[in-house]
Amino acid sequence: MKKTAFQNCLDKIYKLGRFGIKLELDTILNILKSLNNPQKNYNLVHVAGTNGKGSTATYIASILQKAGFKTGLYTSPHLVRFNERISINGKQISNDKVVEAYEAVHAVDTGERKATFFEIATAMGFYHFSKENVDWAIIETGMGGRFDATNVINPQVRVITNLSIEHTDYLGSTIQALALEKGGIIKKNTPVVTGVSQPSGLGVIKKLAKEKSADLLIYKKDFSARKNPRQNTYTYKGLNKNFNKLIKPLPGDHQKDNLSLALAACELIFEKLQLIDKKYNFNETLVKEGLSIAKWPGRLEHIQQNPLVIIDGAHNLKAASVLSKYLLSTMEKTRLTLVIGILDDKPYKKMLKSLVPCAQNIIITKAKIDRSLDPSILKEAAQKFTTCPVTIIEDVKEAVIHAINTSNTEDAICIAGSLYVAGEAKEKFDNDLAY
């Protein structure tokens, strides 16, 4: 069967290599210049960090959307479809618009070095947002900051969520080095909201902010959030605003941190908007309405009931620790099957040590990507942390089916370890729901 223009387009994009990384910005700057700098045609928020970037960006985008702004959201990686990376008012870019954006970007990719996958995708996002005349665009970095392809924008606010050691080949092996890379998004006279907690990392962020004359607002110092006693609601104590009885839309207590960062960023945004027009009032009603439409798939996502199936792309030690805490606090009396696959550049032993004791049954799997760790290595490591059965089923979808077939209705299944494992699992459920 003849491929569609969209399929041919995706083939070309993926041939660029999803993991091609070049530590310079000249290539994307030249591409954007040839496109008449589309990233300069709307207001921007830039979000960097290790974990929580996507959730934080989604909260900000949802609140701005409910405030009446046409709002773009650029995130990565995608779980199932490339289109997930680029959305406007919660709606993913269409296949035809993907083709249009790619052709426009590809036509001006004429430099000495051809753009990487992420540079092309980023330029496509900037182009699409401009073509669709968005008012605001919330831009999530890729893995870095200083040399990240997104770091060519001039936003109203910058957010740095938290720090956890990862991608050491590119970002360094210490918190200080990581902070220097992530903090590379800090620019002159632009306020920065951060959730960085490690003293060594926060020290670097403070130094960079001072050098750039950028106001720095720090979580748990300048703003905070807490869970209300005996309630499933949260109180936000902000820079100038206080909100009570907020319901966070995503599960996991850690989401209060991401929510706080998003609300602090929105406070800064609306302070500037009010200087233009007093109608832009950042209030509790707006926040609650915005949060009610916020969705972030593949992060503690409850995808099915009876048995309960949870998909979480916990792909590094910090995320695995957060997931472990959630499972231990919510699944104490539930038989849990853990379906897990991990990439070869992750601290897999520590991740397994955190997650394996949460479950009574372990299924080791492998995402369809070259960097997936050999399941036999994972099995050997997992058996050191449990006496429960450990089974290898390499195909993710088959592993999920087996987990469901061997679970009772009152049991639970958690699929984790990699965003690519999460994506393949989610694709299975999306396809099931389509029929």
All structural domains of the chain: 5-292 (3.40.1190.10), 301-433 (3.90.190.20)
pLDDT the model gives residue 171: 60
Q: Confidence class of residue 283 from pLDDT cuts 50, 70 and 90?
A: very high
Return the pLDDT at 299: 84
309 beta partners: 304, 413
pLDDT higher than threshold 70 for residue 434:
no
Comparing 29-33, 70-74, 98-102, 165-169, the range with the smallest average pLDDT is 165-169
Tell me how far CA of residue 160 lies from CA of 141, 147, 150, 186, in angstroms. Answer: 10, 15, 14, 9
pLDDT at 155 (0 to 100): 97
326-383 tens-digit pLDDT:
999 999 889 999 999 999 988 999 999 999 999 999 999 999 988 899 999 999 999 9
Residues 6+ away with beta carbon under 8 Å from 427: 79, 80, 397
pLDDT of 19: 46
Query: pLDDT digit string (tens) for 82-97?
Result: 999 999 999 999 999 9
Average pLDDT, the chain: 92
Could you tell me the pLDDT band of residue 401, with boundaries at 50, 70 and 90?
A: very high
The whole-angstrom separation of Cα 22 and Cα 170 is: 10
Beta-bridge partners for 304 = 309
* Per-residue pLDDT at 342: 96
**Predicted confidence (pLDDT) per residue in 127-159, tens digit:** 999 999 999 999 999 988 899 999 999 999 999
The mean pLDDT of 148-176, rounded to a whole number, is: 83
Would you tell me how many other CB atoms lie within 10 Å of the CB of residue 58? 29
On the question of pLDDT at 392 being above 70, the answer is: yes
pLDDT for the residue 167: 56
> Which amino acid belongs to residue 290?
G
Average pLDDT of the segment spanning 184-206: 95
How many beta carbons lie within 10 A of that of residue 203, not counting itself? 14
pTM: 0.90
